[in-house]
Chains A and B, each alone.
Chain A
Amino acid sequence: MLRLWSAISCLLLASAAASASSQSFENSAIVRTIDLGGSLVHVTTTFAVKALKEAAGVYTITLPEDEIFNTSWLEVKVKGKQQPLTVTYSGAPAGSKSHNLDVSLEKPLEAGATINLVLETVQTHTTRPWPQQAAQDEDQSLKYETSLFVLSPYNTSVQRTKLKSSSPRIIFYTEPENVQAFTLENPVTKSGSTVTYGPYSNVPPSANQAFLDKYQQRVVLHYSYDYPVLEVLKLRRAAEISHWGANLNIQDDIVLHNAGPRLNGHFSRLQHQTQSFYGRGAPHVLPLFTVQLPPGIRNTYYLDQIGNVSTSHLRVAPSVSRGLKNTQNSVLELKPRYPIMGGWNYTYTLGWDAPLGDSGSYDPNTGKYIVSIPVMTEIPGAVVNDAEISIILPEGATDVDYVAPFPALSNEISTHVTYLDTIGRPMVIFKYKNLTNKHAKPIYVSYRVPISAHLRKPMAVATVLLVLFTFAMVARRVDLTIYKTPTKKM
């Protein structure tokens, strides 16, 4: 869990400021909606905020410790606006296992003014299969655990938590206890596929140990889930930019793992064939999946360690020139060599060539090339535990600069030597952990390539050939015979 922490601490610039002066705000309502998924859980919390003091510009959000460790992506927006607000980390309130995030509002609120803030987070690895094993024909159900109350340093008039499952089959949910102080009605209701905790009225400032000890409690939801729970254990993306071929080659090496319930017993092909014949595939089996690739790609290859995997279908969308809106992606239906049952692994390599013009451009003002390379290609519903993206620039590129959509755990620039290189190519490496579909954004790399660097390769080849021919010319004319027989009879 600690590794996640480092991701978050990168995300939020640490600041030593103490918690906001108490009670500059009041929450008129907090609604937390948790979209239960497999490896990803999307949480949207809406804070209806009312300012109590003049010029209140910094609103504090408190997240419990376990939750912040599981959160791999976080964004705060004003409801209805696109631009996210600046969020800074402001330390942990003394004695409580929670962490404060300060949201700087665009402009300070006057007393009595209201604003709706939306906190969106994506949690990874928060569900676990229960039971931990499932036979081939059994259903898959997961358990999700969270805390009952949304924490806030402010008074809250009413708050509720909705847990939404994709299927109405909810096997179990916790009945909260000791909530008579906040509600007189049923503390939890289930309707269809949604379980709602609350509304709980008049919740006092909760980001303190006293409240946590007295009221905070864990709630568990056990629900059945109809899609396989996927984890990409390892993603190695190599993007190679070639100016000679006007080509951007992207290759992903992926270790895929089905993190759903482990297969109980053994795999029976007969049963699998029967199930897929009647269209009743077990939910924890992954027979194939679809990924969206950029339009206009060529030479797509899908292999694993022992060769080509012939069971895939690709529909290539036509190339879209840069600047125009991309309406259509190429669609690749990937079918692994075998259906991936719960607990099984599969590795594969997927690569393609794309026209460099679609993702790169030349800026005549600065004399630099700018290329955008997506951090990852989304595998629907999967979390990428460990990612390493290396961008290989043309040989001789200088002034390498990059802008990442979110900071990497580590960056380095090294040298990669490949076909006919003499000095090697600069390679920028980004390392990430726990990437989700929200992270599939481009990294921008800019660099300069002098003319001499372009000509380096033909010059090198020409030199080698020249040396060879010269050697052959000389060698043909050298006579190493020690003794010349006068005339030979044969």
Chain B
Amino acid sequence: MSTAYPLPTNISPTTVANTASLLRIVAFGLISGAAIASRLFAVINFESIIHEFDPWFNYRATRVLAAKGFYEFWNWFDPTAWYPLGRVVGGTVYPGLMATSGVIYNFLHYFNLPVDIRNICVLLAPGFSALTAWATYMFTAEMKDPSAGLLAAAFIGIVPGYISRSVAGSYDNEAIAIFLLMFTFYLWIKALKLGSALFGTLAAVFYFYMVAAWGGYAFITNMIPVHALVLLLMGRFSGRLYVAYCSWYAIGTLSSMQVPFVGFQPVRTSEHMGALGVFGLLQIVAFASLVRSHVSSKQFQNLLAISVVTMGVLGAGAFVVMTYKGWIAPWTGRFYSLWDTGYAKKYIPIIASVSEHQPTAWPSFFMDLQLLIFLFPAGVIMCFRELRDEHVFVIIYAVVASYFAGVMVRLMLTLTPVVCVSAAVALSTLLDTYVEAKEPDVPEERMEANGSSAPDGKKTKKAGGAVGSQASTTAVAAASSAISDFVSATRSSASTPRQKGIWGADTRLVILLNAIGMLVFFVFHCTWVTSNAYSSPSVVLASTNPDGSQHIIDDYREAYYWLRMNTPQDAVVMSWWDYGYQIAGMADRVTLVDNNTWNNTHIATVGKAMSSPEEVAYPILRKHDVDYVLVIFGGLLGYSGDDINKFLWMVRIAQGVWPDEIQEPNYFTPQGEYRVDDRASEAMKTSLMYKMSYYRFSELYGGGNAVDRVRNQQIPKVGPTLDYLEEAFTTENWIVRIYKVRKEDTLGRDLKTANAFAQGKKKKRSKPVSRRRAIV
């Protein structure tokens, strides 16, 4: 046997195994380090701070949990949210994330490590990303081998698609959910492979953890049954499948019902019915196969088959009837929007208004996955080559997740793990083929007989050896050679069976260097995307000073801290729902609506107040005891994520509830443009939102042209006036503007006339003078 490069011969297999194990541990340690380190850009560039919107609620809830204990948290009724309704937090939250942080917090404090709860929350996601890498390693190792596992771990560790949801400070459910997802899948595969009730139970336990942590648990709830069903249909029913599925389903479902927010949903809603159905089906099939193994009559077997089918049909019918009767809740709007992308926009604008619920744009696949998106199909095809039970799982997962990732941006997150796994399988196969030192044995006489067969053969091996090479590199396989490959392949298969393999070290080097080069580019891409796109806390903005140093724009916290320090503790702050959690977390004040968008009418009320003229909005504000109104205005700085840009959603949501009073077309110019300058429509100009945003804005420019730098439009010189509100605070860059709602006039006049009277005093005094002149 010839080798392409010399191999050491005097090494015992134990040494090889031990060295490999040590190398794996070292590699895994490095992968964990890279996974954690690449998520720390935000902490290094800014500070240890909770990001964005939802994490602020999680952080606040975690602080309650850490301070008051789990029992208090469970029974926590938050009167400061959704004023005046309040919110039962314990029953409307997935507590897994907070419980995890709480456990870590108490553990560390027990050992006298007084780590601040904020730092635990900030660093939870990076920490769990290392665990995700480990879970992906285990999962992929089950698919192929540990070296593919290491590749997959490295991919998931740094791939932007996952980093986008798990940078330090992004303290959201997804931070731990992806680990739980991968680990549950791993345990399911393990249980299925071994037919082990232990692993099935472990899968159920982690499934429970997942249910407690993320609403996306429904993905597991449906993935595993679909896998089981496909295996059934492929005729792969076995005792292993039965044991694994039943132990997972029974324990998992019962334990998931312990989470208050989930409650009886697993037996009452359509999303969970698939799992129940497959569970029933498995019982029937198991029963049938049991009976069949004891009965030999052909007719009886036919009867059995018919009865099984009948029972299946009856079960499905019962399901339909129960849904129709309302015993099983039909699918929720969010679920429908997964099938019909236009559904949300038509019926539930509040879902459509969230940017992460939009369909994914093609470039974002490349941005989030880069090289992996090309290796992904190759890996899936690799799975078809062996098609063991677990490969079927990956194939189903790939298909389902690809669809969902195309429908909703945020579901890119569920696609990422399977992309990493498949890409690792593909790349690992490629590397296996080309690193392998063994060269195929070539009969001497053939070499002599056909001189030109050697280069031909080489190409054939390439084509046959690795599908990955086709997808990954164009440098070697040119189109013409591909054709000749086919020709030679058919020719050779017709003549004698030829050995597969690669000749020579140079061929190997070309491919391997190529592959390594692409991996290096992948690393650079990931680092770049992470540092530029995904590491901004969005609470704090950064810009650059003329001298190149970083300038922090901290208007949000300025305003929130002002609210916290200088307003009464029970002041009610109205803002668009995006800022609800932040106000509750940072300003510690009562909010009307927040990011837990459970009450559409309440949100529509705020939308109506914002889009109505002052005198219409004022009774709404007073009825809700609103003391302060907070708006985000980016016109001075060119900050595009401001309320004027979100304004149309407020109008749409309000229109959904009050179609008679608020109409979206009124806010456009007759030409159909969305304008804020002097051509803006009357409804736009009189709306509370417009007035609050541009109040005294043009005065800032003295006599010059006041230009809104987001919309690049010139603001009229005479700005809007406010009668029912007064400016209370505006931040340094005018991003956050807070207005105080005035109390009713003490003399019972409406505030407009009261204001006019107060301002008109001077005119009245001057009037008698002119009259006297007239007399003279």
Contacts and interface: CB of A to CB of B under 8 A. Distances in A.
Contacts of B740: 266
B49 A308 contact: yes
Given A266-B727, A270-B699, A311-B554, A344 B732 contact: no
Contacts of A95: none
Interface in B158-196: 193-194
Nearest to A343: B566
A269 B49 CA distance: 27
A419 B586 contact: no
B562 A337 contact: yes
A306 B726 contact: no
Contacts of B729: 266-267, 269, 338
B566 A419 contact: no
B696 interface: yes
Contacts of B759: none
A197 B45 CA distance: 61
A417 to B, nearest CB: 6
Contacts, number: 78
Contacts of B585: 306
A180 interface: no
A314 to B, nearest CB: 14
A419 B115 CA distance: 9
Nearest to B542: A310
A269 B731 contact: yes
Interface in B539-596: 540, 552, 554, 557-558, 560-562, 564-566, 585-586
A346 B734 contact: no
Nearest to B557: A306
A365 interface: no
A345 interface: yes
A44 to B, nearest CB: 37
Contact of A337 (B554, B699, B734): B554
Contact of B566 (A268, A344, A490): A344
Given A273-B700, A418-B112, A420-B113, A305 B731 contact: no
A310 B561 CA distance: 14
B565 A310 contact: no
A345 B731 CA distance: 16
Contact of A338 (B193, B558, B696): B558
A33 interface: no
A344 B728 CA distance: 13
B441 interface: no
Contacts of A346: 561, 565
A248 B560 CA distance: 33
A310 B556 CA distance: 13
A267 B585 CA distance: 24
A201 interface: no
A337 B561 contact: yes
A490 B193 contact: yes
A417 B48 CA distance: 24
Interface in A261-316: 265-270, 273, 304-311
Contact of A310 (B113, B552, B727): B552
Interface in B39-63: 46-49
Contacts of A304: 561
Nearest to A304: B561
- In the complex, which of the residues A267, A306, A417, A422 has the most CB atoms of chain B within 10 Å of its own CB atom? A306
Interface in B725-742: 726-732, 734, 740
Contact of B565 (A268, A347, A417): A347
Contacts of A305: 561, 564
B112 A420 contact: yes
| Residues of B in contact with A, size category | 35 or more
Given A311-B554, A418-B112, A269 B560 contact: no
Nearest to A263: B566
A349 to B, nearest CB: 12
Given A267-B728, A268-B696, A338 B47 contact: no
B196 to A, nearest CB: 10
A421 interface: yes
Contacts of A417: 112, 114
Nearest to A419: B113
Nearest to A266: B728
A337 B729 CA distance: 12
Interface residues of A, number: 28
A345 B112 contact: no
Nearest to A341: B566
Nearest to A309: B554
A139 B47 CA distance: 39
Contacts of B727: 266-269
Nearest to A348: B561
Contact of B49 (A265, A266, A307): A307
B194 A490 contact: yes
Given A268-B727, A270-B699, A338-B729, A418 B565 contact: no
A484 B651 CA distance: 69
A269 B699 CA distance: 11
Contacts of B700: 270, 273
Contacts of B558: 337-338
A345 B113 CA distance: 33
B47 A307 contact: yes
Contact of A270 (B48, B560, B696): B696
A88 to B, nearest CB: 44
B562 A338 contact: yes
A417 B194 CA distance: 49
A24 to B, nearest CB: 56
B734 A269 contact: yes
Contacts of B540: 310
A454 to B, nearest CB: 18
A435 to B, nearest CB: 23
Nearest to A256: B565
Contacts of A418: 112, 114
A399 B261 CA distance: 57
B496 to A, nearest CB: 35
Contacts of A310: 540, 552, 554
- In the complex, which of the residues B48, B194, B565 has the most CB atoms of chain A within 10 Å of its own CB atom? B565
B758 to A, nearest CB: 12
B112 A419 contact: yes
A345 B565 contact: yes
A137 to B, nearest CB: 15
A490 B240 CA distance: 12
Interface string A398-420: 00000000000000000001111
B566 A345 contact: yes
Contacts of B734: 269
Interface string B710-731: 0000000000000000111111
Nearest to B729: A267
A421 B731 CA distance: 44
A258 B111 CA distance: 42
A185 to B, nearest CB: 46
B46 to A, nearest CB: 8
Nearest to B193: A490
A306 B193 contact: no
Given A268-B696, A311-B554, A306 B561 contact: yes
A229 to B, nearest CB: 17
Interface string B526-541: 0000000000000010
Contacts of A265: 726
Contacts of A344: 565-566
A19 to B, nearest CB: 50
26 contacts: A266-B726, A266-B728, A268-B727, A269-B732, A269-B734, A270-B696, A270-B700, A273-B700, A306-B557, A306-B561, A306-B564, A306-B585, A306-B586, A307-B48, A307-B49, A308-B46, A311-B554, A337-B561, A338-B729, A344-B565, A346-B561, A346-B565, A418-B112, A420-B111, A420-B113, A490-B193
The 3 closest A-B pairs by CB, nearest first: A269-B730, A310-B552, A308-B47
Given A268-B727, A310-B554, A338-B729, 15 more contacts: A265-B726, A266-B727, A269-B729, A304-B561, A305-B561, A308-B46, A310-B540, A338-B731, A338-B732, A346-B561, A417-B112, A418-B114, A419-B112, A419-B113, A420-B113
